[in-house]
Amino acid sequence: MEELVRLCKARGFVFPSAEIYGGFRSTYDYGPLGVLLARNVKEAWWRSMVQLRSEVVGLDASILSSPKIWEASGHLKNFTDPLVDCRTCKQRWRADQLPTTEDGSKLKCPNCGGTDFTDARPFNLMFKTFVGPVEDDGAVAYLRPETAQGHFVNFANVLQTEHLRPPFGTAQVGKSFRNEITPGNFVFRTREFEQMELEYYVPPDDAQRWFEYWCNERFEWYVRLGIPREMLRLRHHSKEELSHYSAGTADVEFAFPWGWGELEGIANRTDFDLKAHSAASGQVLEYFDSSTGTRYVPYVIEPAAGVARTMMAFLLAAYTTDEVAGEERTLLRLHPRIAPYQVAVLPLSKKDTLLPLSQEVLQLLQPVAMCDYDITRAIGRRYRRQDEIGTPLCVTVDFDSLEDKAVTVRDRDSTTQERVPIDRLVEAVNSRLAW
Ligand code: ATP
């Protein structure tokens, strides 16, 4: 984990936010490579959830949201964590996450070892703000703590415009905010984070079948993109653990260095949300089946994933060291869809004679793949850098290229190299990346 945090900083994936001012409370900024990686995670999700399906459409609801939404959804009342203060060192903790003393009889402070705590108080995780110039009760708004409610309040709009019939879904990727009491483990738990959520509306009688379908489908998505099966597990929630709206929840968990941690939750939210918003707004939120003349409120199956946790899992699963020609190297065996760059174009030398052709090769490949272009240092060191940031292919332009109009394509994992004519390079790159 320490190695990964180091690599993330050194290679420009993730920086601590406001670092020049000493950082700011577990917030992070994404650097040049982190932005590419995060975009690719979201693209891969969107591709499998929207592009490759005909019954799912996109949505992008606002982050600033009406208190009425959160009152109806139960978040104002229920979206709380139990909070305790250690009386010895004054640190504040989530009571449900504290370790206990050896005999299990008391909670133990991870900071000072003390066992004297205040009573647990519920702490609402939503960020509250004011809209407009006056900070009074009428101006209160919340930053959404999940994207889900933005789907539900648009249920009728989507039905009217898209003529869909259950099963159908809306997909949304965007930021959510939670005033987490104990953020930590790098970007695993932060107060500002991005979610990728699908709300899938189904006939109530089919809900269990679709819940199982999405548990399987979402688990396999991580496997298809390169996470070894044994680093993943599907954990079903016990009855006591279920949220107030859920008839069944399972988490896709990843074997993080500190233990199993949630990447994504798949929940059968029943008709709780649509009924709650219908009751609070007075609007009809149901589906009318014209073929049978019946109306019903669909059940909702929700796979909800986090971008940063997924990024971390991909990085941790891809992080490898091996030996090439007696020298140790670090590499990220990232899937080509996930890797920040798919191709690096590397002129063998900085000499002017090679640069025009190298630029031509770069421009040939840029419409096809995200390309890095690097003319610094010796070629061996440039290969090492590309291995370390997970670039699947390096294309080297050398002095022979000027004569034979061909370049060398090097594979990250095997380090094998092959000569490819420039006029067949796009085809060769596409087939090697196996998009
Ligand atoms: P946890 O139990 O870890 O707090 P959760 O069960 O509350 O997570 P959900 O409400 O199911 O999380 O949100 C769906 C997904 O959003 C999570 O699986 C996770 O990937 C992501 N997520 C939730 N909270 C955070 C956070 N504070 N920081 C980063 N990602 C988060």
Structure confidence at residue 50 (pLDDT): 98
Dihedral through CA 323, CA 317, CA 257, CA 30, nearest 10? 100
Q: How far, in Å, are 118, 155, 264, 282, 348 from residue 357 at the CA level?
A: 70, 54, 46, 66, 11
| CA 309 / ligand 1 centre spacing (Å) | 9
Q: What is the pLDDT along the chain (435 residues), one digit of tens a residue?
A: 888 889 899 999 999 999 999 989 889 999 999 999 999 999 999 999 999 999 999 999 999 999 999 999 999 998 888 999 999 999 999 998 899 999 989 999 999 999 999 999 888 999 999 999 999 989 999 999 999 999 999 999 999 999 899 999 999 999 999 999 888 899 999 999 999 999 999 999 999 999 999 999 999 999 999 999 999 999 999 998 888 888 999 999 999 999 999 999 999 999 999 999 999 999 999 999 999 999 999 999 999 999 999 999 999 999 999 998 898 999 999 999 999 999 999 999 988 899 999 999 999 999 999 999 999 989 999 999 999 999 999 999 999 999 999 999 999 999 999 999 999 999 999 999 975
DSSP string, 39-99: HHHHHHHHIIIIIT-SSEEE----SEE-HHHHHHHTHHHH-EEEEEEBTTT--EEEGGG--
Topology classification of domain 341-433: Rossmann fold (3.40.50)
Residue closest by Cα to atom 25 of ligand 1 = 189
Per CATH, the number for 2-67+145-314 is: 3.30.930.10
CA atoms within 13 A on the CB side of 117: 25
Prediction pTM value: 0.93
- Terminal-to-terminal C-alpha distance of the chain: 30
Residue closest by Cα to atom 20 of ligand 1 = 306
Is residue 193 lining ligand 1, measured as CB closer than 6 Å? yes
Residue closest by Cα to atom 9 of ligand 1 = 265
| CA 416 / ligand 1 centre spacing (Å) | 41
The one-letter code for the residue type at 110 is P
How many Å apart are CA 315 and CA 138, to the nearest integer?
Answer: 45
Q: How far, in Å, are 23, 79, 185, 322, 370 from residue 91 at the CA level?
A: 20, 22, 18, 43, 46
| CA 48 / ligand 1 centre spacing (Å) | 21
Is residue 308 lining ligand 1, measured as CB closer than 6 Å? yes
> What residue ranges do the domains of the chain occupy?
2-67+145-314, 341-433
How many Å apart are CA 412 and CA 210, to the nearest integer?
Answer: 39
Give, for 315, the enclosing helix (H) or strand (E): helix 307-318
| CA 263 / ligand 1 centre spacing (Å) | 8
What φ, ψ does residue 303 adopt, rounded to 5°? -90, 120
Structure confidence at residue 177 (pLDDT): 97
How many Å apart are CA 292 and CA 281, to the nearest integer?
Answer: 27
Residue closest by Cα to atom 12 of ligand 1 = 265
